[in-house]
């Protein structure tokens, strides 16, 4: 079930909405939904992680007339791969997809077959990546404040080959250290200056998503970044700069080049080939 929260419907608890009036295109309107009510004895349940999937970009560099996350990949929309992986991660509630304004209905249609009876929240994003992340944090704020969400993972919807195991690994790293980001070695890169010690080139890495962080610290980092006029290129940038010092450690989680981001047209073809060589990914495991 794809749920589209209405403006002004946010509350201190996330409740599964019953008796919804189903609207065309599979959308349903109502208060924020979740399988857990954070009142009474249930408020003492183990905190959950939330996963935010960013899908508010465009298709400019990929050369498409539509948002690149809606392009077909392996028989379904590119975004569906990321969402299915997020929904398959244990201990996660909710999964939020941040859409480009005006595209929520189209995204709902694209994801209907992937979601089934599970619940997915769709919200509008902002003009920048950080603004889109903030929209999701605003939505999650009540549950972050009451402790029922302790980790937030942020993922690029244009990275369709991330497996549920990678989500779980960065979430575990965030709980243990403060933050967790997947990274791959970048061999052969040269430093701009000439002062890099011999052997250090092997430690250069490329950072990917999903990136996970302690929820309260991430919310605080975003608030401080906004106050400072800081607009980072990824979630880790704002977190590393503005998170409370006690939570600022970010652990690197090993990943592989398979977890590519679709940026250009050839990336779609590469992803298609990789899906053909990785049956486990194509089945969402």
Q: What is the pLDDT of residues 163-214, one digit of tens each?
A: 999 999 999 999 999 999 999 988 766 666 555 565 554 567 899 999 999 9
Compute the distance between CA of residue 61 and CA of residue 59 in angstroms, rounded to an integer.
6
Compute the distance between CA of residue 52 and CA of residue 55 in angstroms, rounded to an integer.
10
Per-residue confidence (pLDDT) for residue 260, from 0 to 100: 96
For the chain, give every domain's residue range: 2-9+44-188+199-279
Instruction: Give the pairing of strands 120-124 and 2-5.
Output: parallel
Tally Cβ neighbours within 10 Å of residue 175.
Answer: 16
Per-residue confidence (pLDDT) for residue 72, from 0 to 100: 93
Compute the distance between CA of residue 77 and CA of residue 274 in angstroms, rounded to an integer.
16
Helices (H) and strands (E) in the chain, counts: 8, 12
Query: Is residue 212 helix, strand or coil?
Result: strand
Q: Which residues of 241-265 are buried (b: 16+ CB within 10 A; e: fewer)?
A: ebbeeebbebbbbebeebbbbbeee
Of 208, 226, 229, give the one whose Cα is nearest residue 218: 226
Instruction: Give the pairing of strands 72-73 and 76-77.
Output: antiparallel
Query: Is residue 254 helix, strand or coil?
Result: strand
Tokens of 17: 């909405």
Q: What is the pLDDT of residues 84-113, one digit of tens each?
A: 999 999 999 999 999 999 999 999 999 999
Q: What are the residues whose beta carbons fall under 8 Å from the beta carbon of 28, sequence distance 6 or more?
A: 1, 2, 3, 4, 17, 20, 21, 22
Compute the distance between CA of residue 282 and CA of residue 269 in angstroms, rounded to an integer.
15
Q: What are the residues whose beta carbons fall under 8 Å from the beta carbon of 179, sequence distance 6 or more?
A: 173, 211, 212, 213, 214, 236, 239, 240, 243, 247, 248, 249, 250, 251
pLDDT, the chain, mean? 81
Instruction: Determine which of 5-19, 38-52, 140-154, 158-172 has the lowest per-residue pLDDT on average.
Output: 5-19
Cα torsion 112, 115, 116, 118 to 10°: value is: -140
Confidence of residue 70 (pLDDT cuts 50, 70, 90): very high
Q: Which fold has domain 2-9+44-188+199-279?
A: Spore Coat Polysaccharide Biosynthesis Protein SpsA; Chain A (3.90.550)
Q: What are the residues whose beta carbons fall under 8 Å from the beta carbon of 63, sequence distance 6 or more?
A: 264, 265
């Amino acid at each position: 079930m794809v749920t589209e929260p209405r403006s002004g419907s946010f509350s201190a608890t996330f409740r599964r909405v019953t008796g919804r009036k189903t609207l065309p295109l599979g959308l349903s309107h109502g208060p924020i939904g979740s399988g857990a009510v954070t009142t009474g004895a249930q408020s003492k349940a183990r905190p959950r992680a939330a996963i935010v999937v960013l899908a508010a970009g465009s298709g400019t560099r990929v050369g498409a007339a539509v948002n690149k996350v809606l392009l077909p990949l392996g028989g379904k929309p590119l975004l569906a791969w990321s969402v299915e992986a997020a929904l398959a991660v244990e201990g996660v509630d909710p999964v939020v997809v941040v859409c480009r304004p005006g595209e929520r209905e189209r995204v709902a249609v694209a994801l209907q077959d992937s979601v089934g009876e599970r619940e997915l929240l769709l919200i509008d994003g902002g003009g920048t990546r950080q603004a889109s992340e903030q929209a999701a944090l605003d939505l999650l704020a009540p549950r972050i404040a009451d402790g029922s969400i302790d980790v937030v993972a942020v993922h690029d919807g244009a990275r369709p080959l991330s497996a549920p195991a990678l989500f779980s690994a960065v979430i575990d790293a965030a709980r243990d250290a403060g933050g967790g980001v997947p990274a791959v070695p970048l061999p052969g890169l040269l430093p701009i200056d000439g002062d890099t010690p011999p052997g250090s080139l092997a430690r250069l890495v490329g950072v990917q998503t999903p990136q996970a962080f302690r929820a309260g610290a991430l919310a605080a980092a975003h608030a401080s970044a906004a106050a400072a006029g800081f607009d980072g290129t990824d979630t880790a940038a704002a977190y590393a700069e503005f998170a409370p010092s006690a939570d600022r450690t970010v652990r690197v989680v090993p990943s592989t080049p398979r977890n590519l981001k679709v940026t250009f047209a050839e990336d779609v073809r590469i992803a298609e080939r990789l899906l053909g060589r990785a049956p486990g990914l194509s089945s969402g495991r």
